[in-house]
Amino acid sequence: MFETWLAKIEAAELVAVDTETTSLDEMLAQIVGLSFSVTPGEAAYIPLTHDYPDAPVQLPRDEVLARLKPWLENPAKAKLGQHVKYDRHVFANHGIEVQGYAHDTMLQSYVLEVHKPHGLASLAERHVGRSGINYEDLCGKGAHQIKFNQVDIVKAAEYSCEDSDQTLDVHRVLWPRLQADDKLRFIYELEMKSSETLYRIERNGVLIDAPMLATQSHELGQRILQLEAEAYEIAGQPFNLGSPKQLGEIFFDKLGMPVIKKTPSGARSTDEEVLEKLAEDYPLPAKLLEHRSLSKLKGTYTDKLAQLALPRTGRVHTHYAQAVAVTGRLSSNDPNLQNIPVRTPEGRRVREAFVAPAGSVIASADYSQIELRIMAHLSGDEALLSAFTDGLDVHRATAAEVFGVALDQVSSEQRRYAKVINFGLIYGMSSFGLARNLGIETKAAAAYIDKYFQRYPGVKNYMEQTVVFARKNQFVETVFGRRLYLPEINGGNGPRKKAAERQAINAPMQGTAADLIKLSMVKVQDVLDAEKRATKMIMQVHDELVFEVPEAEVEWVRHEIPRLMAGVADLQVPLLAEIGIGPNWEKAH
DNA sequence: TAAGTCACG
DNA sequence: ACGTACGTGACTTAT
C-alpha cells in the first residue's frame, strides 16, 4: 500500500501533503502521520505513531520517513500544502529539508482575499463548498483536548485525507485566479519565497543571554515592590496596582481626582496619557506610571524571554505570521520579537540580552524613512522627492517648509512638530488627531495641515485621489500590486467609512514597505546562499533585518547588505538602508 | 472571553 | 453632529 503510494507521488505532477503532529509548536512538533492527495477525491493517510490502548501496529516512522526523504528533498517534485512553513518545520524536526514546495493555499488566499479568513476549513467552504471534520470534534478542546497521536487511526485518516484533498481542491480554484493577474501572481510568488526565508529565520532563532535577563528581572522586582509600598502609603490603603478598576476607585472616588477621559466602554480611563496629566497635580499617578512600565518590562520581556528559549540551545524561535496583517506586514508571536522595548533606557537593556555566540556579532540593517519615501514615490510630489534626492533630513525639511524658515534655522521643537505631522500624514490623520497628538488647538493643527498641503500639493492630491480610487474600485494597492479590499468605504456608517478612508491612505504606504522588505529578505538570503556565507538572518522588524554575523564576514555584511536592500526596487526616490554592528542588538543600533 | 493597557514599526 | 492616526501581540484583571 505504502509502496503503491510512493510510486504514485513519484509520478505525480503536484502532490498535496499534510502532516499531523503532537504539537502546534513548530520547533517541538513530532510527526504522528501524514497524508497525500494527487487526484481530487482521493487521498492516503500513513499513520506512524498513534499511541492509545489497542492501537494497531503501524509502519516504523523512521523507515517511512527515510523512504520519503528523497522525494521530499527533490526540488523537481512539486508539493502543495496549507501553511507550508509549519510543515517545513515538522519535517525538519525529523532531519528532512523539504524542497519543491510550489504552492501554499493559505498564501494564495492571503494574496487574493486578504480581508477574509485563511484557514483551510474557511477556504474549503468558500471556494469549493465543502465542509469537513472539525479539529475540536476530533480532539476535544481546552483541558480535555487529546493529542493527535491519541486519535483513533480511522478517524485520523479521514480527517487528514480530507485536509490534503481539500487543499488540492482549493488550489485548483485559487491558482488560476492568481495566474490570470500578473501583479497578484508576482505578490504570490514573493510570498512563497518569503515563506521559505521566514522558515529559515525561525529555525535559526536568536541567542538569548538568560542570566542577564534574570538579573534584570530581579532588579525590576525590587523596584516594583518599593513602588507598591509607596503607592499604598499615598493611597492610605493597599490595592492591586494592576487593576484599572481598583485604580479608578482609589483615584476618582477616594482621592477625588478629575476624570480626564473615558474608555470605549464608558469606564474612567487610567491610561498613560491620563496618568501623565494627573501627575501634574497629584503624587500617586507618577508611582503608577513607573510601576506600569516596569511591570510591563518584567512580565512581558525579562521574565518571559528566557523561559521561551530552548534549553539545549539557549535560543528563542519566534513564529512569523505571514497571513495576518491586512497590509502585507508580518506579525511575530510566541514570543513577539517585533515589540521589544527601544524607546526608554530601561527598556533598551532588554535588547542587550539579544546576543551572538562567541566569534559572531549582531548586525541590524534598517530602511531609513521608508514609508515617507514611498509617499514621495506614490504622490510624485516634487518638493518631497527633492528632499530625499538631496539627502536631506526629511523632518527638518518639512519643518522648514511648514514654518517658513531656512533649513539651518529649524528649531528642535519645529522639527518635532514636523515629525508628528509626517507620521500623521502616513496614518491619514485629521486636524483633531494631530491636535491631540501635539497637545494644541484643533484650529492650529488645521493650519499646519493647510500649510503642509500648500507646500506639498502633490501629497494632498495623492491623498484625495487614493480615496477616489478606493471608492471606485473597493480596494487600494501597493506599488507592486498587493491589494487591500475596503468594502466599507462605500457602505458602512459614517465613522466606519472614515476609518476605511484612512486605511485607504495608509495601506499603500505600509504595504509597499512590507513588499520591499520581503524583497530584501529573499534577495539577501539568496546572496548569502549563493556565496555560501555563514551569516544568519535572525529577525525581521518591519523595516529592519537583524543578522548573526561571524567576525570574518562583518565587513562584507557592513557593505553588501545595505546595498542589496537599497537595490531591490527602482522608485522615484532613492532607497537608503543603514547598518549597525555590535555585540548585541542594543549596541548594533 | 472581553476589556484595558502598553510594547513595537 | 460625530468620532477622531495606521498596523500588530501579550499581559493582567474582571466577568
Query: What confidence score (pLDDT) does residue A106 get?
Result: 98
- Shortest-distance nucleotide from A432 CA to C1': C4
Q: Which residue is nearest to nucleotide C6 (CA to C1')?
A: A427
Please tell me whether residue A552 adopts helix, strand or coil conformation: helix
The separation, in Å, between residue A550 CA and nucleotide B1 C1' comes to 47
- Helix locations, A180-271, DSSP H: 182-204, 210-235, 244-248
pLDDT in tens, A242-268: 988 899 999 999 999 999 999 888 899
Q: Is the dihedral of CA A441, A442, A447, A453 positive or negative?
A: positive
C-alpha closest to that of A374 among A250, A462, A255 = A462
Exposed, middle or buried: residue A390 (CB in 10 Å: 0-12, 13-18, 19+)? Answer: exposed
Q: How far apart are the first and last CA of chain A?
A: 57
List the strands of the sheet with A101-104, edge to edge. A43-47, A31-37, A15-21, A79-81, A101-104
- Shortest-distance nucleotide from A288 CA to C1': B5
Mean per-residue pLDDT for A93-116? 98
Q: E-strand spans in A3-58?
A: 15-21, 31-37, 43-47
Res. A130 pLDDT band, cuts 50 70 90: confident
Task: Quickly list DSSP for A158-178.
Answer: HHHHHHHHHHHHHHHHHHHHH
Cα–Cα distance measured from residue A400 to residue A513, given in angstroms and rounded to the nearest whole number: 26
Answer yes or no: are the C-beta atoms of A241 and A231 closer than 8 Å.
yes
Per DSSP, A404 falls in state: T
Q: Which three cell numbers stand for residue A278?
A: 494627573
Per DSSP, A236 falls in state: T
Answer yes or no: are the C-beta atoms of A328 and A478 closer than 8 Å.
yes
Pairing of β A536-540 and β A354-355: unpaired
The separation, in Å, between residue A454 CA and nucleotide C1 C1' comes to 29
Q: Which three cell numbers stand for residue A165?
A: 484533498
pLDDT in tens, A495-504: 899 999 999 9
Asked if residue A296 keeps its beta carbon closer than 7 A to nucleic acid strand B, the reply is yes
The separation, in Å, between residue A27 CA and nucleotide C9 C1' comes to 20
pLDDT in tens, A317-363: 999 999 999 999 999 999 999 999 999 999 999 999 999 999 999 99
Q: Which bases of chain C are under 7 A from a protein CB atom? A: 1-15
C-alpha closest to that of A190 among A411, A456, A512 = A512
Answer yes or no: are the C-beta atoms of A165 and A16 closer than 8 Å.
yes
Nearby residues of A317 by Cβ (< 8 Å), 6 or more positions away:
A26, A27, A202, A203, A205, A310
Report the share of chain A in percent with pLDDT over 90.
Answer: 94
Per DSSP, A182 falls in state: H
Mean per-residue pLDDT for A454-482? 97
Q: Which domains does chain A have, with CATH numbers?
A: 2-203 (3.30.420.10), 208-316 (1.20.1060.10), 345-370+514-582 (3.30.70.370), 372-511 (1.10.150.20)
Asked if residue A351 keeps its beta carbon closer than 7 A to nucleic acid strand B, the reply is no
Per DSSP, A363 falls in state: E
Q: Which bases of chain B are under 7 A from a protein CB atom? A: 3-9
How far, rounded to the nearest angstrom, does the alpha carbon of residue A165 sit from its chain's CA centroid?
Answer: 30
Q: Does A137 score more than 90 pLDDT?
A: no
Per DSSP, A334 falls in state: S
Q: Which residue is nearest to nucleotide B2 (CA to C1')?
A: A265
Asked if residue A468 keeps its beta carbon closer than 7 A to nucleic acid strand B, the reply is no
Res. A46 pLDDT band, cuts 50 70 90: very high
Task: Quickly list DSSP for A454-479.
Answer: HH-HHHHHHHHHHHHHHHHHSEEE-T
Q: Which of residues 329-348 of A touch strand B (CB under 7 A)?
A: 338-344, 347
Answer yes or no: are the C-beta atoms of A294 and A224 closer than 8 Å.
yes
Q: Does A492 score more than 80 pLDDT?
A: no
The separation, in Å, between residue A337 CA and nucleotide B5 C1' comes to 19
Res. A155 pLDDT band, cuts 50 70 90: very high
- Shortest-distance nucleotide from A262 CA to C1': B4
